[in-house]
Structure 1
Amino acid sequence: MKNIPHHFKIYFSHFRTKLLCAFLLCTLIPLCIIGAISYKVSHTIARDKILASTVSSDEQLNIQFQERFLQIENTADSLQYDMYNLMNTNVSKTDLQVLTETRNHLSLFKNTFNLHYIQVFLPKEHIGSEENLYFFPIEDLENFRIPKKSLENPGTSSIWFYQPDLSVPFLISESKEPTNTIALCRILKNPQTQVIEYAYILFLNTAEFSQPLLESFPDKSISSYLVTDTGEIIAGNNQNLSIALSSQDINFMKKHQNSTVKKGAVTCHISKLENGWYHITEIPDSYINQNIQILIKSILITLLISLPVTVLIIVLISRNLAEKIRVLSQAMEDFQLDTPTIALPWLTSPDRHPETFDEIDKLGLTFLKLQASLNQNLQSILDLSLAEERLKYQLLQSQINPHFLYNILGSIQTCQSLGKLDTASQMLTNLTRFYRMTLRKSGDLISIKDELEIARLYLEMEKLCHKNTLTWDISMEDGIENFLICKFTLQPFLENSIVHGFSQRTPHIHIRIELCYGEDTVQIRITDNGKGITEKQLCELKKTLKEKIINYEKHFGMGNVNKRICNPYFGNGHINIESRLYHGTCIFIEFDQLEDCNEKSYDC
């Protein structure tokens, strides 16, 4: 048991285990949070959508009910004219024309507007009061559930009330069963005596309202019903509804009319109609949750599928990354100097393209370059140690060229003999400055500014030897002259351009020296319009530069410069050469930007 913590420490010390844990924590936790948020947001949106859809259906029903009630109101208004004619005509027992016309109108209204029944109540002395088909005595009003307040002061306004168990004469309707109805009553009283002169009632079958409610809300869990202002439920989509609301429910209904409000586990949409009644729709939370189950199941299934897939992807990715790190770590442990380069298989795959390399791949490339560079530097150190004395001698020999010195001194003597003392004096001055400049710098690295000055002095002296057949120009970008360069990098190439450039076809030599910035490098281009180099000689020179060969009998100056400038201490650069016979030569030199921190530190 004591070894368990130690085993855990060893297990979690592996890079792959740490990477896997990090991936799992950074992926599963956000995934769970997103899942929870998605569930909450989706649940809220779905709930609002379901409620909005139900309320929208409810509003459509309200419009339908309102239009139906308005139609009955207009019908009652139309009957008012017939009642006026009927009450203002002296009807005898033999002349029943007006009564017949009124009866016909009532029948027409009933059939046209789909009314369940129409009853007209007349004074007892009126001949039509005993008709008992459409016309009845006023005393029969007591048999109906007309609100007492409306009877006391009816005016000419409509009186809406619920009349259950209404029986209709057989001649009007074949149905013998009593019917629950919705009634619209109009009553006219004599303003002076307050005696009712006449009244009429239009009846609607409550099934006319129950059917649309049932069609709009077939689900029994939703209760939608029509209720009077006194709380009587007159129509609904559910037969199990109670007959009337409690006083508490009536107060709640009137308080929250024309709104959607939550009441316990039920959401109520309460709409007040034009006739003073209410249309109430109750949507229980169970109905909403039942309809959201599909969405919730979809989210859960998506999460259950996503989690194992995510874990599998994380395991595969961590395994791939960890394997690279393991191989690279093992290669670094096994690396030794002066041993064959250790290969990294995933980098040498033919399917890999350098642009697809990640940071671990680049780290592997750096390790491979480091191996090659260390082995190469080790060999370079051995070679330099063996050739150190000989290189020093050859360097001194290239600095003090007897042939160059002989030509300059001969030219000075000729000028003195011809009386050109100014020219001879200038040549002596240039020669003095040249050797002072070349011998004053003890190190192998000097500033580009000093190197250009040495090159200019050399060209000035060569110009005096070749009269006016030699010209040159130098261009460079700002600040580039402050970087360091190997001493005598330019002079050997300038000497080659002059010595090998003149010919009968190229009697005038123009040399151009350009210095510009690269990517953290210095680029130098030396071009001339001289004789150029043959193709065979050009191949030899390129081979010498590519293989970093120093031949003390052939191309020594160019090979010497190339060998030194390729050294990491001297800029880790390279040299390219391009030339065509009688079309001139172009030398391209590129090396790292080296700053002049301490000149003595560059002495070799």
Structure 2
Amino acid sequence: MKNVFSIRYKIFIIYSLLIICILIFTSVITNQVTRNANVENAIQTSQRELALIMNNLDAKITHIFDYATTVAVNPNVIAMLKKYKTPPQSATAQYQLRTTLNKSVNSILGINRNIAMWDLVAIDNKFFGASGYNTAPTAAVLGKNYFSNINPKNNCIIQGPFMITEDIPNNPTIPKMVVSKSVVDLDNLATIGYVAFFVNESSFAAIFEENMPADTQTSFYVLNENNIVLSSSEKELIGTDFSVGEHISEENYRQLCENGNMILSGGTGSTDILYTSKMYEGTNWRVINAVSLNSLLQGQEAVNRFTLIIGILACVITLVLSFWVSYTISKPIHTLSNAMARVSKGDLNQTVITHSKDEMAILYTGFNNLTKKVRALLDEVYQKQEEKNQYQLQLIQSQVKPHFLYNTLETIKSLVDLDLNETASEAISALAVFYRISLNNGNDIISIQNELELCRQYLYIQKLRYQEYLDYRIEECEGTENWCISKLTLQPILENAIYHGIKEKQTKGLIVIQLKNLEDHLIFSVIDNGVGMDSETLKNLQNSLRDSCENDHLRSFGLSSVNRRIQLLFGKEFGIRIESVLHHYTKVILTIPKEPYFPSIK
């Protein structure tokens, strides 16, 4: 009974842990995938909102520029600026000028909420006061030569923000943007004055406030080309450097500008912030939107709670089911284990009896049949395994010879001595790849893709040694990573082609590896245009392949080893056949079945 309970609890614990681990892994992956999807959606949503804001910003600035251009070409405006090079001193002239300009300009502007106030500026940078607004605080902030210094020529220019203290109760300081447009004399195209529009920062801020969702923690920033904040939901940052105010490094800011979006940590105890950025080409302004990821991922918390509840219920159900399964399985396994224990002591006449008709009955029947045949099978398996191991060992020893490593190292040393360091480095890499694939963590079966790569590195190394004799080409097909082959199958064939075909020719030779993909099997062809073989030699070699004769000829031994190994693995219908014409070519044809490749997990 002790063993019964032991296996029962083993099954219970393993089954429970397995299912719980799967549940936890699934929950973590689901949470991560969901979060990534939500973050991606948040980025796309933020970019769409920013694109809409950019369109509205472009429309607003374009309208203001259009108004400024229209006022600048108004005949009455041009006439007044031509008449007065500087604002008139007499009250009568001032009244006449203000009346004329107000009538002309106000008919153009109408009720425009974007323009806080306007005025005309003389060529000497003095304000006319034509609009009736008190422009003295603005003139003081701009300075005496502001309009002359910016030299707008005939283009609209917008600059700011200028922190202007209004001459009204409480003296509030309001950031303003100045839109200026030169007025030219149409007769000689000389600048005779300027149109100045003053736009409150709040006019630009309204674009963001009207288009941002009300349920998200969102901040916006409009920056000029010098990284100075022109407009923002964080009013205290207006006029300051954005990177300094937001504590963003120069590298992060550069990446934000290049990528268009970035997620930065808000620090310990703070939420992550999603920044999205777009450039407004019209004024070289950069618009940045910053939103808290927590406000965008509120639905993620609900998903996490739901996943946690489902996970707890699944774990409870798993524990109950695992206990029941362990109890059901343990009893018949205990019976079978006792019989197997007696068999392990040499009693091959053991049989087990069951009255059930489930899978355990099939297992019992299989065990009974197995004990009847095991003696004969053991003898056969031992014999074949011994033979197979012997051929595998002989093949590896005969192909991956120490002298190949020594010769390659000598070649690399020669390359280094000749100061061909790059070629030496490539040779070392090729040697490393060759031995890595040939060792293959002790596994004898590799993918055809790796076998071809092993051949490629081997031929590359040999070509370094025999540059005057050897060239090669590999013609492969698709899907080589899906089929398997015994490792070091083609290498002995290539070695024979080099040493018994190409090298003996004493002239430049070519080795071609071809792979053909047929319906249910693969055909490798290794062709060299070396010395070839006469009919008698070819016949003897074919006989040695058929009889697996390991005679003293190196050519025969290598090919016989490969042929025998292929037949042990895949059957008598597969293996090697050879075609050759003396002084023309030798072609070794290897046929194997299409066996799927399943990489071993180490």
**TM-score normalised by the shorter chain: which range applies?**
0.3 to 0.5
The TM-score, its normalising length taken from structure 2, stands at: 0.44
Higher gyration radius (CA): 1
Q: Which has the higher contact order (CA 8 A, sep 6+)?
A: 2
